Chain A
Amino acid sequence: MTKPKVASDWLAGCAGCHMSFLNMDERIIELTKLVDLRATPITDLKEPDEEGVDVGILEGGIANSYNEEVAIRMRKRCKILVALGDCAVFGGVPAMRNFAGAAEALKRAYIETESTDGSGMIPNDPELSVAQHVRPVSDVVKVDVFLPGCAPSADAIYYVLSELAQGRMPKVEGEFNNWH
């Protein structure tokens, strides 16, 4: 039996959810016996296999056009998509800027901050992605498993992945359902 392939990526998040994934410590060895860990931000392979993976994991919300692209690509290449953490599930901390708007947030960050010397400007290279209204992943693509938390505990992540690896849909409830 081939092991299910798992890939992950991060969008507008803080990497904390991936840190929490690593917090499962030695259980990660157990997990690699169950799954084939493919592209992740903390492995060498950076893009999920073109031929597809079984489980895709996304940390972070959709805050710009690049996040949107990555989310759509992951959705296309995975069978089951997991939204990992409060930012992926709800929009999270980056979504705070929605109360003022992306333009206001950029102005504050690049021009009005106390440490800016008056010559501040908002980066406008056409190569750069365009800031958007921050959305949860499920506003852009279909999400199959929501694992909220800031960050979700290592136990919760281990539970979800080990269930998926064994062909079951995890039930996120009790202590694993934590909105923080």
Chain B
Amino acid sequence: MIQLTVNGKPVEVETGSTILDAIRKAGFNVPTLCYHPKLVPYGSCRLCLVEVEGARTLQPSCVVPAANGMVVRTDTDRVKSARKFVLSMIFSERNHFCMYCQDTDGDCDLQQAAYDEGMTHWTITPAYKPFTVDASHPDFILDNNRCILCRRCVRACTELVGNATLGFEERGSGSLLIADNNVPLGESSCISCGNCVQFCPTGALIDRRSAYQGRETDLTHVNSVCMDCSLGCERVVKTRDNRLVRIDGNEDIGFNDSLLCYDGRYKPLTEDRDRITSPLVRRNGQLESITWDEALSVISAQFKAHDSSEINAHISPRQPIEALSAFHEFFADHFQVGEVTLLGHDQTALACAKLAAEIGAFESGISTLKDCDAAIVLGTDMVKDHQVAGFFLKRQAINDLKMFTANSTHTKISDWSSNKLEYIGTDYPAVVNLLESYVKGDAADLSTQLQNLSLNPERAQKVLGNLKENQKVVIVVGKEFARVENLPAFRKLVELAREIGAKVVTLKGQGNNFAGAVFGYEMDAQAKSAPVFFLALGDDQACDHTRDALAGSEFKIVQASYESAVTEMADIVLPCTIWAEQAGHYLNSDGKLGLNQQAIQAAEGNRSVLDVLKILASKSGLTLSETWRAAVEEKVAAIVLS
């Protein structure tokens, strides 16, 4: 521990803390611009200058380590005048006219810093030098005129996302924010995750959809979890006048440290499918509008007219736990229909549940990926799916993380590490045998094994040669590998992991796939055609398998938010709320529950899957229990290590 005084107040901080940490711990504050708690301190803006007794010059508190006996002052005239001078210099350098910036009044850290210092005007005339604007990207604009060169975007892009797209060219006041080797952002290696926009303290990175749509304080903020994959990233949905305006990563909660990928941040705002506005029924081959009462009566009549074994029910994992639980209770427990299935091909959650039943809880949380020495990624492409988990590996891969990937196609994530071994194929049992050979170190046929998998022996030795000695090995298991037919290999893999103290992390499809497995849904799109087929699609898109199963069924009931090929062929269509119009819980890969709060009101006529189930249940004289939490928590504890 280090002891020092700040403005005369003694304070104790941990070794390695900065002066800024000590200032804030002592209950004082200094303004900052380039500093961000989630980034490595950089010290470029000079706004956090403080007086340190004995030091010749003022010291940037965000980068200078606190030392024993230091006497720090944040409130002297010298500090205050330096702060105003620094701000005046920043304002004079580029176009920082607030009145024609989209980022004002509480949204801009630079403006706020000026307010906090009581500045009413500028003391240095601006340079009026124009800088480049890059508007080639569909989601955001890069305006160098508004840039203060703090490099928070560059650091977020590299340190957190591991994509290293953004960088700077030129020097000093002529420095320019660029993408790659100065190519237009829209044609660059940018993956459109938008984290740079969230980290920008000024209006230099402009979000196209929310620009000029109101200040942060004009928008309603609602906590949400992303259901696009099983990570369940925590995010904040921002709305105005019942419109979705912007989505940002949640800076307060969640394993994702405020990071989101394109699918979590921008994709929900690009929705352009046509909404279904009223219940529809097929009459004389045409879909016609009917009332909800009529539609529900038709459905009840169909249920009564058929034996329950003639009904199949199929639901999207984008639906909240509340709906999945009620759906299973209604169709499987009460009705005991033919089949209750979950949309999608991802069996990971099911395979994990089955494996855990055999050998006990074995999974570790996603956060394990943030700090490891070696990563073994089997059967998933973390650049395409579960991208935020991919960020955790990519950002370490830049520093030569050992990486072994196995997938049927090339996965870009392996491109990030120079210390990599890549197997392209689907013989996962052979891959696990190879890992076993390296762990046990006694395989006589190692060279044959390597040859069969077309792997370079030297490279393999470098990456897998001393797995045991590596302190932090993490094994990521995804959809190609984690299939029921691979269970013996999966089991062997987990046993090897236990032997060497490696952590196993699994990625479980989308949304509530894990919850589906917990409730006992069949996961692998075994949906078959039936005399009556009930499809609770919601805002999801049907896969080919679902479409075929529906097409072969006689009476087709589809609950959907958007018009699509499946609503075209339906006999009854029920207009359904989308993710933002309903509240509910999601169970992520880690087994953690996230709450997606309702952000906007649905137009009249839309009803959620859950609400419709409740009505159908009451028509059948049933009451749905609505209790699921204890059962979910108990089952998760049997799969995921606490």
A64 within 8 A of B: no
B28 within 8 A of A: no
Which A-chain residue is minimally distant from B120 (CB atoms)? A146
Stretch from B59-67, B121-129, B177-185, B402-410 that touches the partner: B121-129
State which of B97, B104, B118 has its C-beta within 8 Å of the C-beta of A173. Answer: B118
Q: Which residues of A contact B129 (CB under 8 A)?
A: 99
* 12 residue pairs from A and B, CB less than 8 Å apart: A86-B97, A86-B99, A89-B120, A90-B99, A99-B95, A99-B128, A99-B130, A146-B120, A147-B120, A179-B99, A179-B114, A180-B104
State which of B105, B111, B118, B125 has its C-beta within 8 Å of the C-beta of A135. Answer: B125
Inter-chain pairs besides A99-B95, A179-B104, 9 sampled, C-beta below 8 Å: A136-B121, A143-B121, A146-B121, A147-B120, A148-B121, A177-B120, A179-B114, A179-B115, A180-B104
Measured CB to CB, the closest approach of chain B to A6, in angstroms, equals 20
Report if A83-B121 is in contact (Cβ < 8 Å); known contacts: A98-B128, A180-B105.
yes
B120 A139 Cβ-Cβ under 8 A = no
Which chain A residues (132-166) contact chain B, with CB distance < 8 Å? Answer: 133, 135-136, 138-139, 143, 146-148, 150
Q: Which residues of B contact A150 (CB under 8 A)?
A: 99
Q: CA separation between A133 and B115, bound complex, in Å? A: 27
Q: CA separation between A100 and B129, bound complex, in Å? A: 9
Q: Which residues of A contact B105 (CB under 8 A)?
A: 178, 180
- Interface pairs A-B: 10 shortest CB-CB: A179-B98, A146-B120, A98-B128, A146-B121, A150-B99, A99-B130, A86-B99, A180-B99, A172-B120, A89-B121
A95 B118 Cβ-Cβ under 8 A = no
Q: Which residues of A contact B118 (CB under 8 A)?
A: 173, 177
Q: CA separation between A138 and B120, bound complex, in Å? A: 12
A93 within 8 A of B: yes
A92 B115 Cβ-Cβ under 8 A = no
Q: Which residues of B contact A179 (CB under 8 A)?
A: 98-99, 104, 111, 114-115
- Taken residue by residue from 92 to 118, chain B's Cβ proximity to chain A (1 for < 8 Å, 0 otherwise) reads as 000101111000110000010011001
Q: Which residues of A contact B111 (CB under 8 A)?
A: 179
Q: CA separation between A173 and B116, bound complex, in Å? A: 9
A96 B120 Cβ-Cβ under 8 A = no
B104 A90 Cβ-Cβ under 8 A = no
A96 B100 Cβ-Cβ under 8 A = yes
Measured CB to CB, the closest approach of chain A to B44, in angstroms, equals 23
Measured CB to CB, the closest approach of chain B to A7, in angstroms, equals 21
State which of A83, A95, A138, A139 has its C-beta within 8 Å of the C-beta of B97. Answer: A95
Which chain A residues (110-135) contact chain B, with CB distance < 8 Å? Answer: 133, 135
Which B-chain residue is minimally distant from A172 (CB atoms)? B120
State which of B99, B100, B104, B121 has its C-beta within 8 Å of the C-beta of A138. Answer: B121
Measured CB to CB, the closest approach of chain B to A173, in angstroms, equals 6
Q: CA separation between A135 and B126, bound complex, in Å? A: 10
- Most chain A CB neighbours (cut-off 10 Å) among B95, B99, B105: B99
B99 A93 Cβ-Cβ under 8 A = yes
Q: Which residues of A contact B95 (CB under 8 A)?
A: 99
Measured CB to CB, the closest approach of chain B to A96, in angstroms, equals 7
Q: CA separation between A86 and B104, bound complex, in Å? A: 14
A92 B99 Cβ-Cβ under 8 A = yes
B120 A148 Cβ-Cβ under 8 A = yes
- Most chain A CB neighbours (cut-off 10 Å) among B95, B100, B111: B100
Q: CA separation between A92 and B97, bound complex, in Å? A: 7
Which B-chain residue is minimally distant from A147 (CB atoms)? B120
Q: CA separation between A139 and B118, bound complex, in Å? A: 20
Q: Which residues of B contact A95 (CB under 8 A)?
A: 97, 126, 128
A90 B97 Cβ-Cβ under 8 A = yes
B121 A90 Cβ-Cβ under 8 A = yes
B125 A139 Cβ-Cβ under 8 A = yes
- Taken residue by residue from 71 to 100, chain B's Cβ proximity to chain A (1 for < 8 Å, 0 otherwise) reads as 000000000000000000000000101111
Q: Which residues of B contact A172 (CB under 8 A)?
A: 120
Q: Which residues of A contact B125 (CB under 8 A)?
A: 135, 139
Which chain B residues (445-471) contact chain A, with CB distance < 8 Å? Answer: none
Q: CA separation between A95 and B130, bound complex, in Å? A: 13
B115 A177 Cβ-Cβ under 8 A = yes
Q: Which residues of B contact A93 (CB under 8 A)?
A: 99-100
